[in-house]
Amino acid sequence: MPKTISSFYALNNPKAIWCLRICTFATVIGGTFAKSSADVATGRYHNGLHGYYQFDRHFTALACVHTIASDYLRQRKLGVRPVFDPLRYPDIGRQLSPDAWDDVFAGVITTIDQLILFFC
């Protein structure tokens, strides 16, 4: 048994349990009287950072995303409209459609440019 888990068994007595209950109750009651503006600001800051890191992790963790983004940027630097060719990516070809980069919605290419430049 790990040492950290076995150390909690020493606290399995009525005195420690009542102390934990009193501390929990005091925390709940104290939280209702505390000013929440700082808590809300801290929570928003934390959620913003969490969202950024989660998006960044998902955006950059996959090697295929890096490969596709590099190809996209290469085509943009050449001054041509990016064309997606799934034949260049045989390992992920089954997951990709040939018209993946078609500009269906207005501003999609601009948004992709901004995201890639922000994260690369």
- pLDDT tens digits for range 53-97: 776 666 666 667 777 778 888 888 998 888 777 777 777 666 665
Candidates 67, 78, 82; CA nearest to 120 is: 67
* Annotated domain spans of the chain: 3-33, 53-119
Out of 29-38, 88-97, 104-113, pick the least confident: 104-113
Retrieve residue 66's tokens.
């890096």
Retrieve residue 49's tokens.
């950072």
Distance from C-alpha of 7 to C-alpha of 3, rounded to nearest angstrom: 6
Task: Identify the pLDDT of residue 116.
Answer: 60
Q: Do residues 48 and 99 lie in contact, with contact meaning Cβ atoms separated by under 8 Å?
A: no
DSSP state for residue 120 in the 8-state scheme = -
